[in-house]
Amino acid sequence: MSVRFGIAVFPGTWSDRDCIHAVGLTGADAVPLWHADRDLKGCDVVILPGGFAYGDYLRAGAIARFAPLMEAVGEHARAGGPVLGICNGFQILCEAGLLPGALLRNSSLQFRCQPTWLRLEAAKGPFLSSCRPGQLLRVPVSHGEGRFYADRECLAQLNGEGRVAFRYSDRAGALTTAANPNGSLENIAGILNPEGNVLGMMPHPERACEELLGSDHGLALFNSAIHHLGGAPG
Amino acid sequence: MVISLKEVVNDPQGLVVEEALHSLGYPEVEAARVGKFIRLEVAGEDVEGARARVDEMCRRLLCNRVIEDYRFELRPASGG
Amino acid sequence: MSRTQSSGTPTAAELRELALTEPEYQSATQQLGRVPNRLELGMLGALWSEHCSYKTSKPLLRQLPSEGERVVQGPGENAGVVDLGGDLLCCFKIESHNHPSAVEPVQGAATGVGGILRDVFAMGARPVALLDGIRFGDLSHRQQRQRFARVVEGIGWYGNCIGVPTVGGETYFDDAYQHNCLVNAMCVGLARRDQLVRARAAGVGNPLLLVGADTGRDGIHGATFASVELDQAAEERRPAVQVGNPFLEKCLLEACMELTSDPDLVGLQDCGAAGLTSSCAEMAHRGGVGLEIEVQSVSRRERGMSPYEVMLSESQERMVLVVRQGSEERFRKAFQRWGLHSDVIGRVIPEPVFRITESGAEVAALPLEVLVTGFPERHPEARAPELRGAPRPDPLERIPPWTPEEAWRRLLGSPNCGDSNWIWRQYDHQVGDDTVLGPGGDAALLRLRGRGDALALTVDSAHRSATVDPRRATAIAVAELLRNLACVGAEPLGITNCLNFGDPDRPEIMWQLKESVAGLAEAARALGIPVVSGNVSLYNQFAGQGIPPTPTLGAVGLLPDLGRRLGAAFVEEGDLVALVGPPGAGPSGVELGGSEYQRLAHGVIEGAAPELDLEMEQRAAGAVRAAIHHGLLRSAHDCSLGGLAVTLAESAIGGGLGARIRPPLEPPRQPPPSWMFGLLFGESQGRYLVSLAPAQLDPAQALFGEHQTAFTELGIVGGRVISVEGVAECGLEVAESAWRGAISSHLEPPPEAGR
């Protein structure tokens, strides 16, 4: 049976179409999930895509987290279901308390759209279990508020529990300042919840699914989830 | 109400504002932090009740407690 | 007595506020057979403004070729449309937002983007790309840096928020633009044939719906504002600049996309300049019907708005639709799903009149013929400036202030030639997952899903020699579009134009406009590229000083096979470098007239504009496209700003590979002082710098020979140095460092140690 990816759509979301395209490349099914419906439509995996839900007004993700759909997403996450938050999706997960920390304005105070190298730090959970720690992925970022922040205690916990998923690195895997596009603490680009089924990341794996467009390293995350659920990766 | 970044959080916007003020000839500015101002017009006359409700609004939506602090004051609306 | 009801002859001051001249007022009263009341006068002022009526430019624009096999819609609707084949249509247009951007750069630029997006999705096409042409004063001035940075911020904010990639653009800095910056935004959209919507009202009794933002007091007389010179009081006109809401527009866009193939949708139009008045009146006029609007049904953001304010408000993010009677509730519910408020604000009536009522009482009624087309066309005097007759100094006779190497570094490091990454890394250029070639090249490439071909997009302005030869310089811009598209392997389908000029009431500016349009027409006709849409921005003037003539053109092309695309950067060490096109041009073999080098070295515009041979351009472009299609080339780059040396350096820097070439031309026996600089930096036309594998040399020479296009092998890719042998050389790292810092060094403080 084919794995079903539910792609959340809030007013202002725009990478839903890109996520649907990316999932399509793996051969799995992609189903749009309307924000006002408390209904995951039997999806196995939930993706909160990038965009500017509610214009990012007030704070990115602050309003979207109260959408009826998010109640269902929360239940799914607490039950161990895979949830991937990309960019705005990551911001929504943090605002909803499903992941710790917060995303602030880039330290350059500018929007940045550029390719980055990500060093995989933890190969656990549905989205990363098919990957290797230390693996380098070429994935672009595109955001104005991607600077990850968490207080000292939280950071210690994330590090101690191996819940930092990705860090921005250079092409040799070194964690340099130059490689950090937004000033995130410790070059953190993505994190996991304690159980590992919820992954939040600022870079856009759905934009790295075709060599034609610059990189196909992003496919690994979608294929990993499919493999984890017992389906056949594309 | 005023929503501001917690002191421990880095505020690049504040730094840029401080530098800009210096370059405009105000060296006496030692620090700048940028926050948000939100004004709510709230119906009703029960001040204490309103205070509790607005406080709840701050905690639930208007302020992100991970990185922000808030403070507010209630004032009767002027005129009719 | 309410303002709208008052009648009586308006004062000169009132007419000026409406940008109506005395003769226009007389013409209006004569056509109406009575004195118009204030509301009617306000509506006339808005629709008869240059921005809405094109009263000065229309007589000229008529000469532009706008028809062709692939043209589905020429000028006259919200945007132009060309046929991509296979039931896919491409909708595109460029528009200016210069005056608002000078006053409030962030919001002015942002709302410019918002406006052009609406023009495209009002046609039923989903916007797939944005491009922009922006011009400012010299970056050494703080105010220019700020304005530039804020405009980039505004464009980025709106485009990024709404989720349409910005894939290309053109940026230029010169003191001539310091008071009048230019912000031209282009949008490209795609639609299936059955999704295309027209902006016309039809069907007596059909309701008129207004959807989107509430109407406020924004930008009243923004259209007239765009049609007058900026003056010292421009600051105070701040209320004429609106604040954009890209989130609301995103919801509008999605809602419209859902509804465009609805059989009950009769017409769709966005509310732009002159707000409800222009959008509704134009819809009615195109449909040959009339419209009645009840102002009280318009949802307002502010209290106590008069009918005048409601009808002329330019609040952003609003659309009007005409739908079949009985279907309005269905449309309203569809909008509601996206959180959008909508109201029935009027209906179609049989008499071709634009009638406004307030609580049922008529407060204005104007025949549409008068309102939309009744303006007297203007034919201001055009007179060539005096310098035309005078003998032209030869730019090659000037003493160069620098060595060739130093000049090369300066050009690479100048904002007009250097790296524009500082700009476009602030724009989301990938959303949509179809951007194959993004900003930074000759043209952008967008994959067309499910087909093997790709859309090529580019923007370019007239050559700097436009001040002395607007006709040639504008024709050069068209040739440049052709070359830009050819470099990626694409064939042009259509052009959109934005004519940015000074005050046409000055005879020499009117002359510039006439000549420029003539040049555009000639070149477009000769190259077989229709001009399907456009915009005119006049009165770009401050304290009597106008901008140089700046026609900015956008083009859309089609690359038949995405697998056969090409970029501008050198690819492999050992590849050969060749010049396509004439190695020499002009009486001395090299031409410096109007070049960027001339601007930097001498601060003048002198000499003849570069020669242009349109037949040759057509052959060369065809040859380059054919060579790319046959896989003979590894890279192709258009030789334009900065000439051969800059083009060579760009290809080298892009590929991280040096190159050594011999000069394409031998100097004459006693060369004038700047001859070598003409060789390196002259902007002669019809040239491409290409690279190819050595094995492809013979087939390439044969192919170009068949196309009667010159093809000269010049050198080889490799090493860490870029050199034109015997003339100048530059280390690759030095060149790259200069090039990368060209714009960013002005805007970023150097990294501080230990902060």
What's residue C392's pLDDT?
73
Domain boundaries, chain B: 2-71
Closest by CA position to C73, among listed C385, C652, C532: C532
- Outline where DSSP puts E strands in C376-453: 435-437, 444-447
Q: CATH number, domain at C698?
A: 3.90.650.10
CB count, 10 Å around CB of C162? Answer: 28
Q: Are residues C217 and C355 both part of a single domain?
A: yes
Count of residues for chain C? 755
**Mode of pairing for the β-strands spanning C126-136 and C166-173:** parallel
**Structural domain includes residue A208:** yes
Domain hosting residue A18, numbered range? 4-228
**Mean pLDDT over the full length of chain C:** 93
Percent of chain C with pLDDT over 70: 95
Q: Min CA distance, C249 vs chain A (Å)?
A: 9
CA dist C547 to C177, C538, C642, Å?
6, 10, 22
Contact C539, C502 (CB under 8 A): yes
What's residue C229's pLDDT?
59
Residue C4 pLDDT > 50, yes or no? no
Q: Are residues C428 and C290 both part of a single domain?
A: no
Count interface pairs A-C at CB distance under 8 A: 83
Q: What is the mean pLDDT of residues A182-202?
A: 98
Residue C15 pLDDT > 90, yes or no? no
**Out of A100, A105, A183, whose CB is closest to B13?**
A105
Does residue A57 sit at the B interface (CB-CB below 8 Å)? no
**Chain B residues with CB-CB distance to A58 below 8 A:** 61-62
Using an 8 Å CB-CB cutoff, list residues of chain B that contact chain A.
8-10, 12-13, 16, 61-62, 64, 66-67
Report the number of distinct structural domains present in chain A.
Answer: 1
Mutate which of A54, A58, A180, A184 to test chain B, going by most B C-beta atoms within 10 A? A58
Q: Are residues C357 and C421 both part of a single domain?
A: no
What's residue C2's pLDDT?
38
Whether B12 and A107 lie within 8 Å, measured CB to CB: yes
Q: Are residues C361 and C416 both part of a single domain?
A: no
Does residue C431 sit at the A interface (CB-CB below 8 Å)? yes
pLDDT band at C530 (very low <50, low <70, confident <90, very high): very high
**Structural domain includes residue A103:** yes
Cβ-Cβ contacts under 8 Å for C367 (sequence gap 6 or more): C31, C32, C352, C353, C354, C374
Q: What is the mean pLDDT of residues B8-27?
A: 83
Q: Are residues C224 and C285 both part of a single domain?
A: yes
Span of A49-53, C241-245, C664-668 with lowest mean pLDDT: C241-245
What's residue C243's pLDDT?
82
Q: What is the mean pLDDT of residues C564-581?
A: 97
Q: Angle, nearest 10°, between helix axes C105-121 and C142-162?
A: 30
Contact A32, A20 (CB under 8 A): yes
Q: Are residues C276 and C410 both part of a single domain?
A: no
pLDDT digits 0-9 by tens, C249-280 = 999 999 999 998 899 999 999 998 889 999 99
Whether B12 and A149 lie within 8 Å, measured CB to CB: no
Closest by CA position to C289, among listed C239, C347, C234, C339: C347
Residue C218 pLDDT > 90, yes or no? no
Q: Are residues C358 and C406 both part of a single domain?
A: no
Name the residue type at position C471.
R
**Out of B13, B61, B67, whose CB is closest to A149?**
B67
CA dist C395 to C385, C426, C569, C609, Å?
20, 39, 31, 11
**Structural domain includes residue C527:** no
Name the residue type at position C173.
F
d(CA A197, CA C412): 50
**Structural domain includes residue C236:** yes
Q: Are residues C300 and C403 both part of a single domain?
A: no
Domain end among C333, C354, C370:
C370
Max CA separation in chain B (angstroms):
48
Q: Are residues C589 and C644 both part of a single domain?
A: yes
Whether C428 and A142 lie within 8 Å, measured CB to CB: yes
What's residue C393's pLDDT?
85
**Structural domain includes residue C475:** no
**Residue C212, helix vs strand vs coil:** strand
Closest by CA position to C689, among listed C618, C607, C633, C613: C633
What's residue C235's pLDDT?
42
* β-pair partners for A30: A5
**Structural domain includes residue A234:** no
Residue C341 annotated in active site = no
**Mode of pairing for the β-strands spanning C80-85 and C71-73:** antiparallel
Whether B64 and A107 lie within 8 Å, measured CB to CB: no
What's residue C241's pLDDT?
66
Q: What is the mean pLDDT of residues C83-102?
A: 95
Residue C752 pLDDT > 60, yes or no? no
d(CA C430, CA C167): 8
**Structural domain includes residue A124:** yes
Using an 8 Å CB-CB cutoff, list residues of chain A that contact chain C.
11-12, 14-15, 17-18, 21-22, 50-52, 54-57, 110-114, 140, 142, 144, 204, 206-207, 209-210, 212-213
Q: Min CA distance, B17 vs chain A (Å)?
A: 12
What's residue C18's pLDDT?
83
**Mean pLDDT over the full length of chain A:** 96
Q: Are residues C625 and C581 both part of a single domain?
A: yes
**Chain A residues with CB-CB distance to C427 below 8 A:** 111, 113
Residue C1 pLDDT > 60, yes or no? no
Contact A23, A127 (CB under 8 A): no
Q: CATH number, domain at A119?
A: 3.40.50.880
Contact C280, C320 (CB under 8 A): yes
Fold classification of B2-71 (topology level): Mth169; Chain: A , (3.30.1280)
User: ipTM of this predicted complex?
Assistant: 0.96
Q: Are residues C134 and C173 both part of a single domain?
A: yes
pLDDT band at C389 (very low <50, low <70, confident <90, very high): low
What's residue C562's pLDDT?
96
Q: Name the DSSP letter for residue A13.
A: B
What's residue C610's pLDDT?
97
**Structural domain includes residue A44:** yes
Residue C51 annotated in active site = yes
Which alpha helices (DSSP H) does C528-674 contain, by range? 596-602, 614-629, 643-655
If you measure CA to CA, which chain C residue comes closest to A49?
A: C431
**Structural domain includes residue C754:** no
**Structural domain includes residue C323:** yes
**Structural domain includes residue C143:** yes
What's residue B78's pLDDT?
65
Residue A135 pLDDT > 70, yes or no? yes
Domain hosting residue C175, numbered range? 50-370
Percent of chain A with pLDDT over 90: 94
The pair of three-digit structure tokens given for residue C146, joined into one six-digit string: 């700020």
d(CA C618, CA C605): 28
Residue A121 pLDDT > 80, yes or no? yes
What's residue B12's pLDDT?
78
pLDDT digits 0-9 by tens, A155-182 = 999 999 999 999 999 999 999 999 999 9
Q: What is the mean pLDDT of residues C137-159?
A: 96
Distance, CA of B8 to chain centre = 16
Residue C480 pLDDT > 90, yes or no? yes
pLDDT digits 0-9 by tens, C710-743 = 999 999 999 999 999 999 999 999 999 999 999 9
Contact A7, A229 (CB under 8 A): no
Residue C227 pLDDT > 70, yes or no? no
**Structural domain includes residue C618:** yes
CB count, 10 Å around CB of B64? Answer: 21
Report the number of distinct structural domains present in chain C.
Answer: 2
What's residue C8's pLDDT?
72
Mutate which of A63, A87, A113 to test chain C, going by most C C-beta atoms within 10 A? A113
Span of A62-66, A210-214, C419-423, C517-521 with lowest mean pLDDT: A62-66
Q: What is the mean pLDDT of residues A24-33?
A: 96
What's residue A232's pLDDT?
66
Residues of A annotated catalytic, as ranges = 87, 204, 206
Whether A59 and B13 lie within 8 Å, measured CB to CB: no
What's residue B80's pLDDT?
43
